[in-house]
Amino acid sequence: MTFKRVFGIVIDSVGIGEASDANKFGDVGADTLGHIGEFYKGDLKLPNLAKMGLSNIRPSNPIEGVPIVNNPIGYFGKMHEVSVGKDSMDGHWEMMGLPVTEPLGFFPEGFPAELIKQIEDFSGRHVIVNKPYSGTDVIHDYGEQQMKTGDLIVYTSGDSVLQIAAHTNVIPLKELYKICEFARSITIDKPYRIGRIIARPYVGPDKDHFTRTSDRHDFTLAPTGETDLDRLKAAGLDVLAVGKINDIFSGQGITDGVHTVSNDDGMKRTLENAGKDFHGFSFTNLVDFDAMYGHRRNPEGYGKALMAFDEQLGDLLASLSDSDLLMITADHGNDPGYKGTDHTREYVPLLVYSPQFKQDGSLGIRRTYADFGATILDNFNVSGNSTGTSFLKSLK
């Protein structure tokens, strides 16, 4: 069984329970989907994900409000991460056959003075904050000061990120991006080796009305080796990137990429791809789950976003033909019912569907996210992913 088009959707941060090594990350008890279900007390309505087998993944502890189904429309399972971190970059690279084996740089106390001075010297602007902070809280607490002084708000989190926030009326986007590009250029190697430099523009008249814009841009490390996206592109296949996929892979291995402003926009762009006559892989990231609800520890908003996604998923399912394969997964967890504000080390769901299927069943626990990419390569008869194991032959 092979397919002309494969659609991969990463529902960013939607974990499905603590991974076997969660203790190494201080994440014992994390359960993104489980805790959202508990919050909604049975009112989490995800009919399309349910019929794909979402709760079948954990039959002894189904997600509250999401029933186990006797005959799911496809295959279900979960995947374990082998990368040394739990960042979006780690998760996506591993999906595409390139696990992150060297730890990235983390700066829980803020960035070294010499790095900050380089950014100040290059930009001609003073840096303020320089410590872990919530992205919405930091502009509330320091945004008015930034507007008055023209300073750069630099902050981090539990991930390997250096984020720079600035009001667009004070520091235009072009300048902010240029500063972030410089920060990227000096943090590629040790002693910093930071995974992502993130531009965080915001607007608004005062601290009670500041909002971050959709012009966020992630300047990631370029992949340290060949990925499955590179392999697909080299084989002459279409590789369509939707959302922050282009940023995560620094544009490498992509034949066409589109920026999105929301989950809703990401699904609309994916539906547009479903209406195109292409041969290859459409890869979508829906970041709102993570950025807007997981990090902000907002289970209510997270649940609403999941239900909105599920509704659009119904439209996508209806648009697929026998020559299409859909695979839905996540890149890590970010449990809104857990302590802190950072990603959580969890298994991620794996849901696979095609109208061509005559059977359904469990894909079990996959040892690595790289099985995702290995299956895509196998479908197109492309080699190169030595980390993952294809489950293509299990699809019937």
Binding residues: 12, 290, 295, 331-332, 343
Number of Cβ atoms within 10 Å of the Cβ of 183: 26
Cis peptide before 191 (omega within 30 of 0): yes
Spatial contact of 218 and 160, defined as CB atoms under 8 Å apart: no
Strand partners, 162: 197
* CA distances in angstroms from 122 to 82, 171, 198, 246, 374, listed in the order given: 37, 14, 17, 26, 43
Spatial contact of 379 and 392, defined as CB atoms under 8 Å apart: yes
Secondary structure (3-state) at 11:
strand
Separation of first and last alpha carbons in the chain: 7
Indicate the annotated binding residues for Mn(2+): 12, 290, 295, 331-332, 343
Spatial contact of 139 and 165, defined as CB atoms under 8 Å apart: yes
Rounded CA separation 179/166 (Å): 11
Give one word for 47, left, alpha or beta, with left for phi > 0 and alpha for psi -120 to 50.
Answer: alpha
Helices (H) and strands (E) in the chain, counts: 12, 14
For residue 54, count CB atoms less than 10 angstroms from its CB and return exposed for 0-12, middle for 13-18, buried for 19 or more: buried
Rounded CA separation 133/143 (Å): 13
Q: Which of 208, 195, 209 is nearest to 156 (CA)?
A: 195
Please say whether the dihedral angle defined by the alpha carbons of residues 299, 304, 308 and 313, taken in this order, is positive or negative.
Answer: positive
